[in-house]
């Protein structure tokens, strides 16, 4: 059981390190934004957040 606990902690530590590579090793590094409306590619395609789409549909009376 102790070996399993150590392996679990090792896997979690490796995962956290890999998630933070960009933040830790790049000067001025930061996590990428995860929200749809912050993605430039999706903005070009005209894809919005579902909340914004719902708001637009309600404004034009096409929510249903």
d(CA 55, CA 47) in angstroms, rounded, equals 14
Q: What is the DSSP string of 1-63?
A: -HHHHHHHHHHHHHHHHHHTHHHHHSTT--PPP-SGGG-HHHHHHT---HHHHHHHHHHTT--
Per-residue pLDDT reduced to its tens digit, 27-48: 777 777 777 877 888 888 888 8
Alpha-carbon distance of 12 to 24, in angstroms, equals 17
pTM of the complete model: 0.47
What share of the chain in percent tops pLDDT 90? Answer: 23
**Residue 22's closest CA among 9, 10, 7, 33?**
33
């Amino acid at each position: 059981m102790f070996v399993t606990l150590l392996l679990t902690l090792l896997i979690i530590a490796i995962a956290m390190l890999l998630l933070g590579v960009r933040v830790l090793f790049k000067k001025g590094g930061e996590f990428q934004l995860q929200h749809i409306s912050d993605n430039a590619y999706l903005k070009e395609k005209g894809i919005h957040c579902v909340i914004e789409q719902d708001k637009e549909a309600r404004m034009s009376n096409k929510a249903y």
